[in-house]
Amino acid sequence: MHPVLFHIGSILIPSYGAVTALGVLLALFLSERTARVAGLDSHAIWNLWIASIFAALVASRFLLIALNWTALRLHPAWLLGLAMIHHPLLGAFGAGTGVATTVFYGRKLRLPLGPTADALAAPVALGLAFEQLGALLSGSGFGTPTTVRWAVTYTNPLAMRWSGVPLGIALHPVQGYAALAFVALAMFLWTWLPFRHQQGDLIGFFMLGAGVAIFFTEFWRDPEGRGELLSGALDGPQIAAVALVVAAGLVLRKRNGLVEEEAANG
């Protein structure tokens, strides 16, 4: 595949960063529309996005520096290459920081939690789809060896250096599977937003869909560096996916309980 999207003189523009940045921009523009549908101030949602993304990026970079501090003290020039490193732990830490920032800053902006979460659901799913597309081009989160006709083979040494993907071996394009799942989820959430029964439904469906997508696509990902549970039957992202599905069930159950209570009182 293509870990380098293009060159500007001697400067390399990595595919992962460029495609992910494009996904973030598209998610930002989509969030303006979903905010209006949800009855929210689109400018406030835009500012919330920017703060959350910045917090997630800074947190993941600081964690990466902290984990590699000994090596970086000896080779400070390696700081320039940190942006090329992708790992589930970094992604989880960045995502957690982003969510915490969203909740904290959203309360500061006095944005209602339920409608705000619903407005962000489809844009986040779209951004995740582009992140996985960038991962496919770069080799990050690569798949297991396969003989299927749609397999991908990486040959660029930079892909191995940045992501650890093996060269010359046909692999499942699992990042593409995940990207398609997140695109489908984004389309469903965007379509359903005007017809949701009550606040909080969309974020519940997002957590449910994202959890299912992550859980099943992990079966085709290379397990190295992703953690193990039950003698390798499950990995770290799958545990997080199960937690997402359980959380989605709690959110949707609470929503349905409120609907039934209102119907009984009405």
Which residues are within 8 A (CB) of 150 and not within 5 positions of it... i.e. 6 or more apart? Answer: 173
pLDDT at site 85: 55
Cα–Cα dist 98/193, whole Å? 23
pLDDT at site 30: 93
Cα–Cα dist 41/31, whole Å? 10
The answer to whether residues 207 and 244 touch, using CB atoms and an 8 Å cutoff, is yes
Which of 22, 203, 29 lies closest to 112, judged by CA? 203
Domain count across the chain = 1
pLDDT at site 87: 61
The answer to whether residues 130 and 91 touch, using CB atoms and an 8 Å cutoff, is no
Domain that holds residue 241: 4-265
Which residues are within 8 A (CB) of 184 and not within 5 positions of it... i.e. 6 or more apart? Answer: none
The pLDDT tens digits along the chain (266 residues) read 788 877 777 677 788 888 888 998 999 899 989 999 988 888 888 888 888 888 887 877 777 777 666 766 665 655 555 555 566 666 677 778 888 888 888 888 888 888 898 999 999 999 999 989 998 998 888 999 999 999 999 998 888 887 888 999 999 999 999 999 999 999 999 999 888 778 888 999 999 999 999 999 999 998 776 666 666 677 778 888 999 999 998 888 765 554 444 444 44
Which residues are within 8 A (CB) of 223 and not within 5 positions of it... i.e. 6 or more apart? Answer: 232, 235
The answer to whether residues 193 and 37 touch, using CB atoms and an 8 Å cutoff, is yes
Cα–Cα dist 217/241, whole Å? 11
Cα–Cα dist 76/243, whole Å? 38
CA-derived radius of gyration, the chain: 20
The answer to whether residues 27 and 123 touch, using CB atoms and an 8 Å cutoff, is yes
Q: Which two tokens stand for residue 143?
A: 């798949």
The answer to whether residues 163 and 139 touch, using CB atoms and an 8 Å cutoff, is yes
pLDDT at site 121: 92
User: Per DSSP, what are the bridge partners of residue 11?
Assistant: 8
